[in-house]
């Protein structure tokens, strides 16, 4: 039962964080391109790389903490399904180049962000 509470608490915080961060980015940069989702996904990938390395290599996260951070908070925070939906909407609007930039940028920059998080955690 304790893991379920950790999962739900992380999910609640992750969902609220995604909503707040994406909204702030959209207010700052506008909604012509899904900047908010891109920012959330990149930050989520950075955090997954960092926390995953702390858990897997440094053994600094207990299983309950991993459930909270990795599954709950970051699982609710990152928005891959929204990425796909927003890319689909760009395609439907005839914005094929922007859809491609959104998809490839999220994937490629997400891998880079994860790698940076890994490097930072490994250096600790």
Which pLDDT belongs to residue 13? 97
CA-based nearest residue to 74, from 48, 50, 54, 111: 48
Q: What is the pLDDT of residues 29-43, one digit of tens each?
A: 999 999 999 999 999
Q: Which domain holds residue 33?
A: 2-123
Determine the Cα–Cα distance for residues 64 and 79; give it in Å rounded to an integer: 23
Which pLDDT belongs to residue 56? 86
Confidence band for 64, pLDDT divided at 50, 70 and 90? confident
Note the Cα 95 to chain centre separation in Å: 24
Residues 56-75, mean pLDDT to the nearest whole number: 90
- Rounded to two decimals, the pTM is 0.82
What is the 8-class DSSP label of residue 61? S
List helix spans (H) across the chain.
2-29, 35-56, 63-66, 74-77, 80-92, 96-123
Q: What is the pLDDT of residues 73-93, one digit of tens each?
A: 999 999 888 899 999 999 999
Number of compact structural domains in the chain = 1
């Amino acid at each position: 039962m304790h893991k379920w509470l950790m999962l739900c608490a992380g999910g609640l915080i992750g969902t609220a964080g995604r909503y707040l961060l994406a909204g702030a980015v959209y207010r700052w940069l506008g909604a012509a391109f899904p900047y908010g989702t891109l920012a959330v996904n990149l930050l989520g990938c950075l955090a997954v790389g960092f926390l995953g390395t702390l858990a897997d290599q440094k053994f600094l996260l207990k299983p309950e903490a991993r459930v909270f951070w990795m599954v709950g908070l970051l699982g609710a925070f990152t928005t891959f399904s929204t990425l796909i939906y927003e890319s689909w909407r760009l395609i439907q609007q005839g914005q094929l180049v922007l859809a491609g930039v959104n998809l490839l940028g999220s994937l490629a920059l997400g891998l880079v962000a994860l790698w940076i998080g890994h490097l930072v955690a490994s250096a600790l």
